[in-house]
Amino acid sequence: MPERKIRVLIAKPGLDGHDRGAKTVATVLRDHGMEVIYTGLHQTPSQIAEAAAQEDVDVVGLSILSGAHMSLFPRVRAELAERGLKHVLLTGGGIIPREDMEALEGDGFAKLFGPGTKTDDIAQWIQETMRARWTEEEVEA
Amino acid sequence: MSETRVANHSKTVADGRRLWEEALREARLREGNFTTISGAPVKPAYGPGDVDVDYEADLGWPGQFPYTRGVHPSMYRGRLWTMRQFAGFGTSAQTNERFKFLLDHGQTGLSVAFDFPTLMGHDSDAELSLGEVGQVGVAVSSLADMETLMDGIPMDRVSTSMTINGPAPIMLAFYIACGENQGVDPKLLRGTVQNDILKEYQAQHAWLVPAEPALRMITDVMSYCADRVPQWNTISISGYHIREAGSTAAQELAFTLANGFEYVKRGLAAGMDVDTFAPRLSFFFDSHLDFFEEICKFRAARRIWARHLRDEFGAEDPRSWMIRFHTQTAGVSLTAQQPENNIVRTTLEALAGVLGGTQSLHTNSMDETLSLPTEKAVKIALRTQQIIAEESEVAHVADPLGGSYFIEAQTKRLEDEAENYFQEIEKRGGMVACTEAGYVQREIHRAAVAYQRALETGTKRVVGVNCYTEDLDAEPEIDLHRIDPAVEREQHDRLEALRKRRDSDKVRSELDDVREACRSGGNLLERFVSAAHAYCTLGEIAGVLREEFGEYHEPKIL
């Protein structure tokens, strides 16, 4: 049986134009064998949740360098929940102070990554987390 | 020099070189990738034979064509570079206070950072602005905000740079109107509006309308300012964002200058004489960590621009040939790990900018990978420039590295790489076509991924990130500069009050006039200045432009 591919949506919420990180991570995740959909810039929280639903993704990764994370990240989380996508692995990164990361990690975000993170570490973390989830699901089934 | 002496000289040099190369083959070398930060290989040493420059034709003295050695004969002996720290956050009142703080500490020019809603042409109370007001810059939604921003600052004496692009002509209109309300003749206003839309599509991504109408507005600004705001730099053609998005030094150089050539072509196509607008085009480059490559990039930029403007575009005024540029140290080189080390990185980058002959300089603050800079961090960054200017004695001699074999060879290498890109761009139908097709974006992205790979495999070493690392928890706590959420509410209240107080009939008729000018081809900046005086908001004016011209959609490159 072919190995199930992890489907990831990389998204840029808000008006922030800094997409170097998002695009680099998207490319690296693809190199690691994942199916990656990149939303492009300037997405509203509802557009992102809609894309996540339509693309039936396992993971949503948000990138923000504009300081608006405390407003936009929770709104994306809420929009996902509204569409019944609470199970989606929610992650992200950017210029986010550590205390904000901790707050968001206590609020539906599995893990956030800051500047200097190795992209391979992100890929590995996603793979391990998803593998663990799928194994759990199999056991439950 | 006589023929014989040249011959003898080269013979000795050739012998020496052979001996050196032999010795080199025997030498044990440490492990490492001996390339520039852009991945260009460099030799262990450079000498005669590695460079082929003609002093008069390729270098000239400072202030002489092709300006490789600088645009002024006296360089920093005449006047030091302008120390211009980019600043802006929160409300216009808060930023006004920071401006006064910087001026009080010896800064010599202002540089305004706007928040994302403003950069995208939205008012602070627009739905899309939620959560972003005042975050990465100051919110300016109307002339009223501009008046607060410049309150108590003499606009006829200070020069102001405004980093804004899509809505640049509207913001410039607010500035001109603000000056008029202060009693300042627009002829006395000095400063720069970035207004470089092509690199927005390519790298920085704060746009308003598609390329053709955006380029038309740029030529409107150039022609309006030529007579009425003659000391204003109408565009700052910017490589900074291209580099920060991940390009190599050669790509930064090539794409920036190619964008510049496109603006020149547009000005010519609009029927202007090149010498009426080219002297007001200014440039903005990144200064990254590769000290020598950056210095060479600045030198190559001057030479390329001078040659193309004179020989390709027929400019006759020497001011059209000269690239004058602002430099900012590389934000992307800063690390969140051991942030104090960023002061050292910034110092090296700033020094490269100075040795490269920059006209003005912004030095980044050490805490910018964490949040907006604190006042203390900003002050250290400004002091870094002052130490270079006052203590290091480097400012006495123009182009002090000129004539170095390595510097000249690398300047030539960068010039050649840029020329190759120009040919490629031409083949692909020019810079607008290359941008709309995503060619430029793809080139930048590829370089960004290659750099990231080099970081992760360790061929590129960064202190505190992939070598000499420390436990995160052992890091010193560093103060963060946070934006009070009250800023957003305050802006909403201000706008609400403004909308009540102004003459709404006047607003409507001004917006109708803007619409009419969109259709008839009348000068839009002229309309914007008039609309500014009636306190039409940024979002209202930009809204008309969006309706008339449509919105820009980025090409898919991934």
Which DSSP symbol is given to B483? -
Neighbours of B227 (CB within 10 A): 10
What residues have CB less than 8 Å from B306, skipping those under 6 apart?
A: B65, B66, B67, B321, B322, B323
Q: What are phi and psi of B510, to 5 degrees?
A: -65, -45
Per residue in B496-531, pLDDT (tens digit) is 999 999 999 999 999 999 999 999 999 999 999 999
SS3 B467: strand
Yes or no, beta carbons of B445 and A23 under 8 Å apart:
yes
Answer whether B197 touches A (CB < 8 Å).
no
Cα–Cα distance measured from residue A115 to residue B59, given in angstroms and rounded to the nearest whole number: 41
A81-121 pLDDT, tens digit each: 999 999 999 999 999 988 999 999 999 999 999 998 999 99
Tell me what pLDDT residue B14 has.
Answer: 78
Characterize B265-291 residue by residue with b for buried, 16 or more Cβ atoms within 10 angstroms of its Cβ, and e for exposed: bbbbeeebebbbbbbbbbbbbbbbbbb
Residue B114: closest CA among B138, B130, B92 = B138
- Closest by CA to B238, choosing from B221, B255, B219, is B255
Interface of B with A in 90-129 (CB under 8 A): 116-117, 119-120, 122, 128-129
Distance from CA of A97 to the nearest CA of B (A): 6
Q: What is the pLDDT of residues B188-244, one digit of tens each?
A: 999 999 999 999 999 999 999 999 999 999 999 999 999 999 999 999 999 999 999
Dihedral pair phi/psi, residue B329, rounded to 5°: -65, 160
* Amino acid letter for position A81: A
A35-78 pLDDT per residue, tens: 999 999 999 999 999 999 999 999 999 999 998 999 999 999 99
Contact with chain A for residue B246, Cβ under 8 A? yes
Q: Whose CA is closest to A26, among A6, A11, A15? A: A11
The span from the CA of B284 to the CA of B233, in Å, is 12
Contacts of B480 in chain A (CB under 8 A): 97
Q: Does B132 touch chain A (CB under 8 A)?
A: yes
Higher-scoring residue by pLDDT: B297, B90: B297
Task: Supply the angle between the helices B168-181 and B538-549 in degrees, to the nearest 10.
Answer: 150
How high is the pLDDT of residue B10? 58
Q: Could you give the percent of chain B with pLDDT greater than 70?
A: 97
Residue B4 has pLDDT above 50, yes or no: no
Shortest distance, CA B557 to any CA of chain A (angstroms): 9
What integer pLDDT is reported at residue B369 of this predicted model? 87
HEC string for B43-78 = CCCCCCCCCCCCHHHHHCCCCCCCCCCCCCCCHHHC
| Whether B208 contacts B546, CB under 8 Å | yes
Residue B392: closest CA among B80, B69, B140: B80
Quote the minimal CA–CA distance from B335 to chain A in Å: 7
Q: Report the pLDDT value the prediction gives residue B2, as an integer from 0 to 100.
A: 45
B13 falls in which pLDDT band (50, 70, 90)? Answer: confident
Give the confidence band of B371 by pLDDT, cuts at 50, 70, 90.
Answer: confident
The per-residue DSSP string of B1-36 comes to --HHHHHHHHHHHHHHHHHHHHHHHHS---SS--B-
Predicted confidence band of residue B476 (pLDDT cuts 50, 70, 90): low
Report the share of chain B in percent with pLDDT over 90. 88
Structure tokens of B135?
């975050």
- CB-CB: which of A15, A114, A118 is closest to B128? A15
**Res. B124: pLDDT tops 50:** yes
Residue B494 CB contacts under 8 Å (≥ 6 apart), including other chains = B91, B124, B141, B144, B145
Rounded to 5°, angle at Cα B540 from B539 and B542: 60
Apex A113 CA angle, A110 and A117, nearest 5 = 140
Confidence class for position B398, pLDDT limits 50, 70, 90:
very high
**Coil, helix or strand for B263?**
helix
With 50 as the cut, is the pLDDT of residue B3 above it?
Answer: no
pLDDT of residue A140: 83
Q: In whole numbers, what is the pLDDT of chain B averaged over residues? A: 94
Average pLDDT for B93-98:
94
SS3 content of chain A, % helix, strand, coil (to 5): 50, 20, 35
B352: which 2 tokens?
A: 């490269």
Range 198-237 of B in CB contact (< 8 A) with A: 200, 204-206
A23 touching chain B per CB within 8 A: yes
With CA atoms as reference, report the closest residue to B543 among B216, B212, B221, B166.
Answer: B166
Confidence at residue B484, expressed as pLDDT on a 0 to 100 scale: 86
Query: What is the arithmetic mean of pLDDT over B31-41?
Result: 92
| B447 Cβ neighbours under 8 A, 6+ residues apart | B38, B246, B247, B248, B251
3-state SS string for A32-94: CCCEEEECCCCECHHHHHHHHHHHCCCEEEEEECCCCHHHHHHHHHHHHHHCCCCCCEEEEEE
Q: How many whole angstroms separate alpha carbon B557 and alpha carbon A23?
A: 9
Q: Is the whole model's pTM more than 0.90, yes or no? A: yes
User: Does the distance separating the beta carbons of B452 and A97 come in below 8 Å?
Assistant: no
Other CB atoms within a 10 A radius of the CB of residue A86 amount to 11
Determine the residue of chain A that is closest to B137 in CA distance: A66
Q: Indicate yes or no: CB of B116 within 8 angstroms of CB of A14.
A: yes
Portion 470-509 of B in contact with A at CB < 8 A:
480, 483
3-state secondary structure of B237: strand
State the complex-level ipTM. 0.94
Q: How far is CA B344 from CA A7, A114, B333, in A?
A: 42, 22, 11
Q: Which residues of A touch B456 (CB under 8 A)?
A: 118-120
